[in-house]
Amino acid sequence: MIEKWSLRFRVFLFFALISLMVPVLLGSALWFAAGRIGPESVPHLVLWGGAAGFALIGLVLWVWLKFDENVVAPINTLTSDLQTLTYTSTEHDVETEQGRYLGLLAPAAREMAIALESARKEVKREIEEATRELELQRNRLETMLRDLNEGVLVCNMNHKILLYNRRALNILHYTGEIGLNRSVSNLLSTPSIAHSLEYLTGQLETQPSEQELSAHVVCSTSDGRHIIEGQLSLILDSDERSATGYVVTFDDATEKLAELAKRDRILRDAVEGLRAPVANLCAATEMLIENENMDDDGRKRFENVLSEESHRLSKRLQELSQDYREIVTGHWPMSDVYSATLLNCVVRRFKPEDAIQCLINGDPVWMHCDSLSIVELMERIIRRIAGETSTTAFELEPRPKKDKVYIDISWAGDLVRSGTIDTWLDESFDECLKDMTGRDILENHKAVVWSEAQADGMACLRLPLPLAKEDHRSPMFEHNGSGVRPEFYDFDLLKNIGNKQLGECDLRELTYVVFDTETTGLEPSDGDEIIQVAGVRIVNGRILSGEYFDQLVNPGRTIPVTSTEIHHITEEMVGDQPPITDVLPRFHDYVGDAVLVAHNAAFDMKFLSLKEAMCGVTFDNPVLDTVLLSAYIHDHSKQHTLDVLAERFGVEIEAQYRHTALGDSIATAEIFLRMIDLMQAKGIRTFADAAAVSEKMVEIRRQQARY
Amino acid sequence: MSKKILIVDDEPNIVFSVEFLMRRSGYEVVTAADGEQAMQKLSDEMPDLMILDVMMPRKNGFEVCAEVRADQRMADLPILMLSAKGRDAEVKKGLSLGADAYITKPFSTHELVEKVNELLNTISEGE
């Protein structure tokens, strides 16, 4: 029991006891003296004894006050400092000024802190060294994975995502929020995945494990807009008896399937759509031939049938060949190619002895073609033009126009006749292109070439090619200006928490969204609105720098200058931003079932909850507040602002992010992670513990507010 | 008395040729341009055989076929399907829904006449 009382209280009790003993001892001594001296001494004894008693009690009180101020308080500060030092790895200084009456304790603590610091540095250095090699290999793997042209998702058996790569992000980002420890069911329709898993785990139980455990999957994205096709394989436990997760490698098959369906339809139409008119023609013809003595009227009608049906047939053929031309490119494997890369290949084809020089002009673009055959074709055409017109200098330039990019080969000299170009196109290439002709290559790209005259005596040959459908400038990772690689995987999620109740979960294994809002003012019920929402996810004790949420909001009202001074968001900045009714549902998706964390959460939650009905979402997630947790951890300190906490925990907010919703969210997240460690030391391990101390802090603050 | 044949097809040009062909072969002919009309003509005219197209507006050939077979009065009516749907699966579907013969377009007029004769003769022999 006594150990549980605070040091301060125990010391107070000790002094209280002494001051209680003063009147007792003094009283009994004087009473004894009065007995010996006689009753006439009583008034004197009471007067002087009383004075001495009060003086003594006063003295004790004074000593206690001094003791409390100079010994007990510094010990408390020192304890808190040492705890912070032990559980955070910052260069936190031990305060010695306050503890100058503690003798050598404070300097000793300081020395220990320095020793700890250097020991930590040593360990850190060694770990860094050992990790570097590992890091290198990991980087290579990561790069490979990231640039893989197939989407990769790794999930545990609870369908939570452990890993994804850039391609997966590109394919699935249209559909929903993708991120570590999010459920794959946000992205893909799960029945077909569940079926493949069921099938494979069944196979695992019945068959020897040498067999490859993978299955072909085709499933739609959860919004049904895309179809993905790929391979699902199990990740086996070390005993190779049970599965701990699965890998899906996939590609967007929507277009491919649509293309196939179209081709099917055209083929079917070609066969079946032609049957009827041909049947009509045949029947009518046979009737005419076999009935020579038919009357004129009958003959005329059959002739009408013949003419009508042959027209129908030729019209049908026309339509078919049109459709055919549209799909024919699908056969030839093509990829998105950067024009600069392709044209450089062309340039390098010409050796010095060829005496042909090519120069590349214009801005490079992404196009969709088969690189090898186009390079071969361009090389041949340039050589032929050189032969025909005795030109040696050529300029190559990609010119994008609508959905095409015109590759223009220009030279100073005469035009080439179109008949001549045709003969070049009829020549076939050797075995590297399987005897294809230039015409075949053009046909594969739905392209034609022609030569036209240009200004100032230049001639030019134009080759239109399809533009790439995707923009390859990768806008996905714009947050990573700082050079931090986004986290794409976390294999610790393999051993998932399972079905534990939230309250029992270790604080370190929960998924959090730490968020912050910027607003037009402090009174949401008085018309103040949200103008920026940002959030960062924490999964398994790691801030996922690749999965930030950061969105300006059009508040539909003016922004007071006084608030702009704080967050630097102006009305121009939010003019073309989406309204809260768009942003909040997206943020709701982003949050999912994570625990919400904010600095002074009550404020932000108030703004969110006032918008819930309007936006059709409810934020009923559990909430933690870093202000309350800080009040619990550093009860001796009265300051709990974000800046003070950042300094206390050695968290640096990057200059570009400071006082923005995202910057504050990141800082809060880092502070929160350090707080979790500190709380562990104080026995606060589970979510229920953290919620309980928060409750307590709210209660204390409420009482303080009352006085 | 000559036998009566119902020709059902939504394309007048083929109806015209087949009608001519059947009349020349000595049959009486009635025609219908879609499935519903065909059902009407079946009960009005009581034909001895039906030449039936598959793809038609309102009611397709498969439906007509199934309905005829379900009707007591016409259960024995010979049905010859004449269709542009030429896949094996569709031929099988037609035959199992109750067609007695399935000819895919384009067809030879001789074959069609032979098939019609054959179907009608089998019936008369049976009588």
A412-445: per-residue pLDDT in tens? 888 888 888 888 988 888 766 777 888 888 888 8
Tens of pLDDT, residue by residue over A555-590, are 988 888 888 888 888 888 888 899 999 899 889 988
Structure tokens at A486: 């986004």
Distance from CA of B17 to the nearest CA of A (A): 6
Tens of pLDDT, residue by residue over B53-72, are 988 888 888 888 888 888 88
Binned at pLDDT 50, 70 and 90, residue B123 comes out as low
Distance from CA of A220 to the nearest CA of B (A): 29
Per the model's pLDDT, the better-predicted residue between A6 and A62 turns out to be A62
> What's the one-letter identity of residue B120?
L
Binned at pLDDT 50, 70 and 90, residue A382 comes out as very high
Distance from CA of B89 to the nearest CA of A (A): 14
- Chain A stretch 265-304, residues whose beta carbon is closer than 8 A to a beta carbon of chain B: 271-273, 275-276, 278-284, 286-287, 290-291, 298, 301-302
Distance from CA of B127 to the nearest CA of A (A): 32
Q: What is the pLDDT of residue A536?
A: 92
> What's the one-letter identity of residue A325?
R
Q: What is the pLDDT of residue A89?
A: 58
Domain that holds residue B12: 4-121
Binned at pLDDT 50, 70 and 90, residue A547 comes out as confident
Q: What is the pLDDT of residue A668?
A: 93
Task: For residue B126, tell me if it sits in a domain.
Answer: no
Residue A156 to residue A247: CA distance in whole angstroms: 9
Residue A374 to residue A336: CA distance in whole angstroms: 13
CB contact under 8 A, B17 and A302: yes
Q: What is the pLDDT of residue B5?
A: 92
Task: For residue B19, tell me if it sits in a domain.
Answer: yes
Q: What is the pLDDT of residue A479?
A: 39
Residue A47 to residue A646: CA distance in whole angstroms: 59
State yes or no: pLDDT of A282 exceeds 50: yes
Task: For residue B44, tell me if it sits in a domain.
Answer: yes
Count CB atoms within 10 A of the CB of residue A196.
22
CB contact under 8 A, B21 and A279: no
Of B13, B21, B107, the CB nearest to A305: B13
Tens of pLDDT, residue by residue over A43-88, are 888 888 889 888 989 999 999 998 888 888 888 888 887 887 777 6
Residue A273 to residue A266: CA distance in whole angstroms: 9
Q: What is the pLDDT of residue A30?
A: 87
Residue B94 to residue A502: CA distance in whole angstroms: 62
Q: Is B84 on the interface with A (CB under 8 A)?
A: yes
CB contact under 8 A, B13 and A284: yes
Q: Is B20 on the interface with A (CB under 8 A)?
A: yes
Residue B116 to residue B103: CA distance in whole angstroms: 11
Q: Is B109 on the interface with A (CB under 8 A)?
A: yes
Interface predicted TM-score of the whole assembly (ipTM), two decimals: 0.82
Tens of pLDDT, residue by residue over A184-222, are 887 888 788 888 888 888 877 776 655 667 888 888 887
State yes or no: pLDDT of A597 exceeds 90: yes
Residues of B within 8 A of A276 (CB-CB) are: 11, 14, 84, 105
Question: Distances in Å between the alpha carbon of B21 and those of A232, A538, A682, B7, B116?
Answer: 60, 82, 101, 11, 11
CB contact under 8 A, B17 and A278: no
Nearest residue of A to residue B14, measured between CA atoms: A280
Residues of A within 8 A of B16 (CB-CB) are: 284, 301-302, 305
Q: Which stretch of A105-109, A395-399, B15-19, B115-119 has the lowest confidence by average pLDDT?
A: A105-109
Binned at pLDDT 50, 70 and 90, residue A698 comes out as confident
Q: Is B23 on the interface with A (CB under 8 A)?
A: no
Q: Is B106 on the interface with A (CB under 8 A)?
A: yes
Residue ranges per domain, chain A?
2-102, 148-252, 257-331, 335-466, 497-706
Structure tokens at A232: 């699902």
Q: Which fold has domain A497-706?
A: Nucleotidyltransferase; domain 5 (3.30.420)
Structure tokens at A614: 């309007």
CB contact under 8 A, B84 and A276: yes
Structure tokens at A583: 């942003």
> What's the one-letter identity of residue A589?
D
Residues of A within 8 A of B107 (CB-CB) are: 279, 282-283
Question: Distances in Å between the alpha carbon of A253 and those of A105, A150, A226, A447, B43?
Answer: 70, 11, 8, 25, 52
Distance from CA of B54 to the nearest CA of A (A): 11
Interface test with A, best of B14, B24, B54, B113 (most A CBs within 10 A): B14
Q: What is the pLDDT of residue A330?
A: 54
State yes or no: pLDDT of A476 exceeds 60: no
Q: Which stretch of A394-398, A571-575, A684-688, B122-126 has the lowest confidence by average pLDDT?
A: B122-126
**A595 in helix, strand or coil?**
strand
Binned at pLDDT 50, 70 and 90, residue B127 comes out as very low
Angle at A536 between CA A533 and CA A537, to 5 degrees: 135
Residue A364 to residue A638: CA distance in whole angstroms: 60
β-bridge partners, A383? none
Residues of B within 8 A of A273 (CB-CB) are: 84
Q: What is the pLDDT of residue A140?
A: 80
- Give the mean pLDDT of A351-368: 87
CB contact under 8 A, B105 and A275: yes
Q: What is the pLDDT of residue A99?
A: 65
State yes or no: pLDDT of A484 exceeds 50: no
A45 membership: H or E segment, kind and range = helix A42-67
Binned at pLDDT 50, 70 and 90, residue A90 comes out as low
CB contact under 8 A, A279 and B16: no
Please give the order of strands across the beta sheet that includes B4-8.
Answer: B28-32, B4-8, B49-52, B79-83, B101-104
3-state SS, A617-631, equals CCCCCCEEEHHHHHH
Is domain A257-331 given the CATH code 1.10.287 in the classification? yes
A148-252: CATH homologous superfamily?
Answer: PAS domain (3.30.450.20)
> What's the one-letter identity of residue A11?
V
3-state SS, A85-145, equals HHHCCCCCCCCCCCCHHHCCHHHHHHHHHHHHHHHHHHHHHHHHHHHHHHHHHHHHHHHHH
A670 membership: H or E segment, kind and range = helix A661-681
* Diameter over CA atoms, chain A: 171
Question: Distances in Å between the alpha carbon of A644 and those of A176, A567, A637?
Answer: 37, 18, 10
Residue B67 to residue A181: CA distance in whole angstroms: 57
Count CB atoms within 10 A of the CB of residue A639.
11
Q: What is the pLDDT of residue A161?
A: 87
CB contacts < 8 A (A, B): 59
Residue A698 to residue A705: CA distance in whole angstroms: 10
Q: What is the pLDDT of residue A477?
A: 38
Residues of A within 8 A of B10 (CB-CB) are: none
Distance from CA of B107 to the nearest CA of A (A): 6
Nearest residue of B to residue A268, measured between CA atoms: B85
β-bridge partners, A404? A401, A466
Residues of B within 8 A of A281 (CB-CB) are: 106
- Chain B stretch 28-47, residues whose beta carbon is closer than 8 A to a beta carbon of chain A: none
State yes or no: pLDDT of A3 exceeds 60: yes
Distance from CA of B91 to the nearest CA of A (A): 14
Residues of B within 8 A of A280 (CB-CB) are: 11, 13-14, 17
Binned at pLDDT 50, 70 and 90, residue A297 comes out as confident
CATH number, residue B61: 3.40.50.2300
Angle at B62 between CA B57 and CA B64, to 5 degrees: 75
Q: What is the pLDDT of residue A624?
A: 92
Question: Distances in Å between the alpha carbon of A188 and those of A145, A157, A165, A224, A261?
Answer: 21, 15, 16, 9, 22
Task: For residue B99, tell me if it sits in a domain.
Answer: yes
Q: Is A239 on the interface with B (CB under 8 A)?
A: no
Residues of A within 8 A of B14 (CB-CB) are: 276, 279-280, 283
**Residue-wise burial string across A689-701, b where 16 or more C-beta atoms lie within 10 A, e elsewhere:** bbbebbeebeeee
Binned at pLDDT 50, 70 and 90, residue A174 comes out as low
State yes or no: pLDDT of A457 exceeds 70: yes
Distance from CA of B102 to the nearest CA of A (A): 15
Binned at pLDDT 50, 70 and 90, residue B7 comes out as very high
Q: What is the pLDDT of residue A498?
A: 52
Question: Distances in Å between the alpha carbon of B23 and those of A292, A682, B18, B20, B53?
Answer: 16, 104, 8, 5, 19
Residue A682 to residue A79: CA distance in whole angstroms: 12
Residue A583 to residue B63: CA distance in whole angstroms: 53
Residue owning tokens 């993978």:
A214
Question: Distances in Å between the alpha carbon of B104 and those of B19, B48, B60, B87, B109?
Answer: 17, 21, 16, 9, 12
State yes or no: pLDDT of B84 exceeds 70: yes
**Highest CATH level, class, for A335-466:** alpha beta
Cβ neighbours for A689, distance < 8 A, ≥ 6 positions apart: A507, A679, A683
A595 in Cβ contact with A687 (< 8 Å): yes
Q: How many domains does chain B have?
A: 1
